[in-house]
Amino acid sequence: MNIAMSPIGVFHTDETSIPRHWSVSEVEGQIEIDPAYMEGLKDITAGQKIIVLFYFHKSSRFESRHLVQSPPHKKGPMGVFSICSPVRPNPIGLSVLSVLSVSGNVLMVKHADMIDGTPILDIKPHIAEKTDCPSYAQDDD
């Protein structure tokens, strides 16, 4: 099975010191969405949280020796699927970001743990409670 993805946008920031995880980050930046997808930003508003899926485009190539890694902030070696390392079989990252503002195809966000130029794969709503889940369209195929 072959899975192909194309970025829907790119992350921009002037920050050069990026925290290793969104939960400890105060970094601000912009998510610039390809204009072809701009209409999909409808209903995203300042103050809400979003889940951003991105591609670790600067990550080292994954090899079997990376199945167990020693993160600098943890004790001892850990399995890759129990840590947030960018060195993964599929170098996909996930962050929960706060939306500061929306202007056209640009989202100003906070709590980023991505470097400048990071390709954005998808944006999803952050659902804290099941009652917060918006309705969605389903194909009748």
Neighbours of 128 (CB within 10 A): 9
Q: How far is CA 138 from CA 4, 53, 73, 141, in A?
A: 22, 22, 43, 9
Residue-level length of the chain: 141
Contact 46, 140 (CB under 8 A): no
CATH topology of domain 9-128: Elongation Factor Tu (Ef-tu); domain 3 (2.40.30)
Q: Return d(Cα 9, Cα 50) in angstroms, integer.
A: 15
Neighbours of 133 (CB within 10 A): 10
Contact 93, 113 (CB under 8 A): yes
- At 121 the pLDDT is 98
| Among 54, 59, 57, residue whose Cα is nearest residue 120 | 54
Q: What is the pTM of this model?
A: 0.84
Question: pLDDT per position in the chain (141 positions), as tens?
Answer: 999 999 999 999 999 888 888 988 899 999 999 999 999 999 999 999 999 999 999 888 888 888 898 887 778 898 888 887 888 888 999 999 999 999 999 999 999 999 999 999 999 999 987 665 666 555 554
Domains of the chain, by residue range, sit at 9-128
49: Cα within 13 Å, side-chain hemisphere:
15
Q: Which helix (H) or strand (E) holds 12?
A: strand 9-12
- At 11 the pLDDT is 98
- At 136 the pLDDT is 57
DSSP label of 83: S
- At 95 the pLDDT is 95
Q: Return d(Cα 21, Cα 134) in angstroms, integer.
A: 27
